[in-house]
Structure 1
Amino acid sequence: MNGKVHSAQEQVILTATGGILTSIMIKTGDIIRTGYVAAQFETSTLQYRLERAKLAKFNGEKEYLSQLLGYESLLKDRSKEQSEDIKQKLKISTGLSSAEQDIKEANYEISKSTIYAPFTGIITDLKVQRGQQVRPGEELFRMYDPNNLLLQVKVLETDVYLLKKGTIAEVMPIGNKSKKYSAFVSEINPYVDVNGMVEIKLKLTSRNLQTETFFPGMNCTAIIKIPMGITLIVPKEAVVMRNGKAVIFTLEKGLAKWNYVTTGKENDKDIEIKEGLKPKQKVIITNNLQLAHDAPVKENVDSDSLTESVN
């Protein structure tokens, strides 16, 4: 089965603000840690706004306190809620509330002018450079966690019952199948699509993947190793139903022998036989729908099947 690699933690880093990038401290392929400063926007205009807001707040506080003195006698006879309402109106009328809000907004925009790494990972698709004018919401770069890589594949709905979380797998890049990486089933999507397929995710467990040429978006082949134990597998056409029970005919000394069997797991071609057959028995897989017990049969060597004799 084939699929594409992706990381369980990958993110497009966008800018919340616009302006000129004064510095870029990363390059494509760098491994950076959570909180690392990746880029910095020019903030002089924002700093000027902040200083003006602080000055306005200073003047507003002076005017607010001056006017508040004239309300002292009035406030004594009012409830706490009424007093707070009067004070709030004074802050608005003197411009103090507006200045305090301008300070908050300026500080917020200044904080957004520094771009930090949201997690530890590898930088990819760096799209900007130092001195560039960037618009709000523009993509700066991407990053992903190389220690949390997954392969997303699809399996037939008839095969999904053979799988469980933790089932071991092996992953090989299509471009270099000599490279093999360990993995296991980490997620089984409980949904069958219109094509009868179920999506599963394989978690890569091989160490030092970040030092290998193993990237998100890479096409890979996966082999899932299902522990079946000692079991017998026969073609599905070998099983016929008689009186509501599963029957398999075997060849013994030129005669067809009727065997009740207990079936197990199956896919679109084969079926597991839990009871009723022994290893090395020859199983009749064609012309068996109307076959009777002890009917003479002959082996068709060319097709590796057994057919009922017409003699």
Structure 2
Amino acid sequence: MKYYNLLAVLVFFGMIACSGEKKEDSAKEETVETALPDEANEVTVMTLKATDFNHELVSNGKLSARRHVDLRFESAEPIAAIYVKNGDRVSKGQKLAELSTFRLKNKTAQAKDALERAKLELQDVLIGQGYALADSARVPSATMQLARVKSGYDQAVTQYELSEYEEKNALLTAPFDGIVANLFAKQYNTASTADAFCTVIDPGSLEAAFTVLESELPLIKNGDRVEVAPFALSGEKTEGRITEINPLVDESGMVQVKAAVAGKGKLFEGMNVRVSIHRAIGNQFVVPKEAVVLRSGKQVVFVLDETKTKAYWTYVHTGLENADSYTIVDGLKEGDIVITSGNINLAHEAPVTIIEN
């Protein structure tokens, strides 16, 4: 009897175990079906057509002013007054500084007196040759030249003109509208004739000097638009135009290029800048960079089939590029519906669903 009871217990527990395994297998199948749903990939698309491509070359350069002048005094005299300081904006003809003119005026007066005495001496020499100063037009050139040298007239004229010039240039004025820079001299100190007193820069004449590769020369020309962004001013950008292409390739295969830049008051001479050259090239197939992916080391673009429900990959060759786009040289045709996003993990003939950008 005990034997039959034990057998019944074992059969009962065996039935419970089998029922648990079936429930567990059923749960696993349901979990797998939930984790791996047969859903289409969501993608955005564009219709390929020929358009203008904004080609971009990027280079580093430095700003300089086309109108930039170092001003210096002509005489080593004490500085009587300084009217400006570094950073001041000045107008053409505005006074910047002036020297003490006492000795300069005295020197001019002496030179003028010496000139008058030389003129009298010249007249005496001509009278000795049988001519009057009033009849100088009739005096032979050789005789006149001899009389001028003998009287010291030419030397006196030169000294007088030099004295007048030095006195006139005892006052420094701005040659054009601009900004004062490099002014380090102090009032009452003796001015240096060798070193510049100050520099005047026209901020409206800034230009960016940069280099491009020899192979990029066919892609640029005078008048092309450039975008200049100083490294020191984050987010600050300004536009310009190429004004000069130096017709010489250096040892490194680089060509010097200059572009006129609008200063906007925030750019300074000597700034290091990033230069982007933009040029519109017509009749190009253009796709976003996100549309091009790599498969087995080759460039691939996914396009939709006629039903617009499946993605087919197509091998392509890209040409030019800028910050966000490629031109397609081979592999696509006008009218193809190109997948522009959602293509990172796509497979060939994968089902897709189009969504709005």
The answer to whether TM tops 0.5 is yes
Q: Deviations over 1:225-281 (max 9, x none)?
A: 2313342479xxxxxxxxxxxxxx9999xxxx999x9x98799xx996667852669
Residue range with higher mean Cα deviation, 84-93 or 108-117: 84-93
Shift of 1:95: 4.7
Q: Give the aligned partner of residue 30 of structure 1.
A: 88
**Pairs within 5 Å for 1:251-290:** 277-278=332-333
Q: Which secondary structure does the structure 1 equivalent of 2:62 belong to?
A: strand
Which amino acid in 2 is paired with 1:142? T
Unmatched runs of 5 consecutive residues or more in structure 2: 1-58, 288-299, 304-313, 339-343, 348-357
Distance 2:253 2:154 in 1: 62
Shift of 1:22: 1.2
1:153 and 2:206 equivalent?
A: no
Q: Deviations over 1:37-58 (max 9, x none)?
A: 2221222222222222333333
Shift of 1:88: 4.9
Q: Give the aligned partner of residue 45 of structure 1.
A: 103
Match among 248, 263, 271 for residue 218 of structure 1: 271
Q: Give the aligned partner of residue 103 of structure 1.
A: 160
Q: Give the aligned partner of residue 20 of structure 2.
A: none
Q: Which secondary structure does the structure 2 equivalent of 1:133 belong to?
A: coil
Match among 128, 137, 140 for residue 197 of structure 2: 140
1:13 and 2:71 equivalent?
A: yes
Shift of 1:140: 0.9
Distance 1:99 1:161 in 2: 61
Match among 236, 247, 256 for residue 179 of structure 1: 236
Match among 259, 268, 271 for residue 202 of structure 1: 259
Shift of 1:113: 2.1
Contact 1:184 1:205 in 2 (8 A): no
Quickly say closer, same or farther: Cα 1:73–1:189, change in 2 above 3 A. closer
Q: Which secondary structure does the structure 1 equivalent of 2:167 belong to?
A: helix
Tell me: higher relative CO, structure 1 or 2? Use CA pairs within 8 A at least 6 residues apart.
Answer: 2
Which amino acid in 1 is paired with 2:106? Y
Distance 2:145 2:195 in 1: 39
Distance 2:242 2:204 in 1: 16
Distance 1:108 1:223 in 2: 48
Shift of 1:106: 1.2
Shift of 1:34: 2.3
Contact 2:97 2:172 in 1 (8 A): yes
Q: Give the aligned partner of residue 116 of structure 1.
A: 173
Q: Which secondary structure does the structure 1 equivalent of 2:87 belong to?
A: coil
Which amino acid in 2 is paired with 1:49? K
Unmatched runs of 5 consecutive residues or more in structure 1: 235-248, 283-300, 305-311
Give identity over the alignment, percent. Answer: 26
Contact 2:94 2:173 in 1 (8 A): yes
Shift of 1:204: 1.6
Q: Which secondary structure does the structure 1 equivalent of 2:259 belong to?
A: strand
Distance 1:220 1:49 in 2: 51
Q: Which secondary structure does the structure 1 equivalent of 2:176 belong to?
A: coil
Q: Give the aligned partner of residue 310 of structure 2.
A: none
TM-score by length of 1: 0.67
Which amino acid in 2 is paired with 1:6? S
Which amino acid in 1 is paired with 2:333? K
Distance 1:194 1:105 in 2: 48
Shift of 1:180: 1.7
Which amino acid in 2 is paired with 1:189? N
Which amino acid in 1 is paired with 2:178? G
Q: Deviations over 1:64-95 (max 9, x none)?
A: 545655544899xxx9453x544554454445
Which structure has the larger Rg? 2
Q: Deviations over 1:198-248 (max 9, x none)?
A: 222222236xx12xx3111111222222313342479xxxxxxxxxxxxxx
Distance 1:11 1:57 in 2: 35
Quickly say closer, same or farther: Cα 1:47–1:152, change in 2 above 3 A. same
TM-score by length of 2: 0.59
Match among 47, 50, 58 for residue 116 of structure 2: 58
